[in-house]
Amino acid sequence: MTPPQSTTPDHIVIEPRRPRFDFSDTPRHWLRDPYTSQFMNALSVFIPFSERTVIEILRKYRDRVSDPKLRAEIEALIRQEGSHALLHRQTNQVLARCGYRAVPAFERLQKAFFQQVRRCAPETFEITIPAAFEHFTAAIAKDFLRERDFWAGGKSNGALEFATWHALEEVEHQAVCLDFYLALRPTPWVLTLSLLLLWMPATVVSIYGVQLYLLHKDRLLYRPRNWWPYLRFVGRTLPMLLDSAWKYLKTDYRTWGADDEDLYKRQKQNLPRV
């Protein structure tokens, strides 16, 4: 009998949802301050095509997965990621209309980069891509949920509700892409190398680069008094993007820990069902 390949706890159900959000009350800086807001806006720029890439790769190789539970989780993740991509495309269109006109150019640049990487990548490397992307989204999502005061302060608006929903679903399916990769290629060192040599540098340059562009359009960093808060923000968030890639080499590593389950349980009531 084939051993189970899914490591998602049995009581965690990956549920596709299609909620609606009212963005009419969303201020220009919808999180605690311009730095947190523009960081998340920069992340949004790259989400639609990243999610599309994850979906394409999972669909391409999913028939090789033998575990029925993992296959069902892959299908649910694909539907979740489709909803994420759709809403972030709409968000990016709003950013462009608000005067951040280079946003479509950044999206095209990302698309060209991903297409070139996949064109040159061997199959083993291509299969690591969904797990590599989920490495970052899970780390950001968990920090966003745990450190609410740092990110949101006391604000409340539709964009914040959207970000919270997305973060919760990223936690919900955080193990699926790693399980998918290990089910097809039980060689975690390839994932670790891909993170260290490509995806970590590319992610840091991309997100902070676009954040700098957005802050430039806000004319924020032309005032010396804003330099220290910005550098402090980078120092606070950079470790989140450089979260250990070596952990995947540990034979006893599991994506879901007791603290993750507790976080998900406490936050689940915020997940909309429609």
Using the Cα atoms of residue 5, residue 251, residue 238 and residue 198 in order, give the sign of their dihedral. negative
Secondary structure of residue 23 in the 3-state scheme:
coil
pLDDT score, position 198: 96
pLDDT score, position 123: 94
**pLDDT band at 62; cut points 50, 70, 90:** very high
Q: How far apart are CA 24 and CA 34, in angstroms?
A: 19
Mean predicted lDDT score pLDDT of the chain? 93
Reference 177, options 59, 44, 33; nearest CA is 59
Q: CA dist 262 to 9, 80, 146, 179, Å?
A: 12, 22, 11, 21
pLDDT score, position 270: 63
pLDDT tens, position by position, 86-135: 889 989 998 998 899 999 999 999 999 999 999 999 999 999 999 999 99
Nearest 5°: CA angle at 176, between 10 and 151? 100
pLDDT score, position 272: 57
**pLDDT band at 188; cut points 50, 70, 90:** very high
**pLDDT band at 274; cut points 50, 70, 90:** very low
Q: Average pLDDT for residues 151-165, to the nearest whole number?
A: 91
pLDDT tens, position by position, 205-220: 999 999 999 999 999 9
Reference 74, options 92, 61, 86; nearest CA is 61
Judge whether residue 271 has pLDDT over 70: no
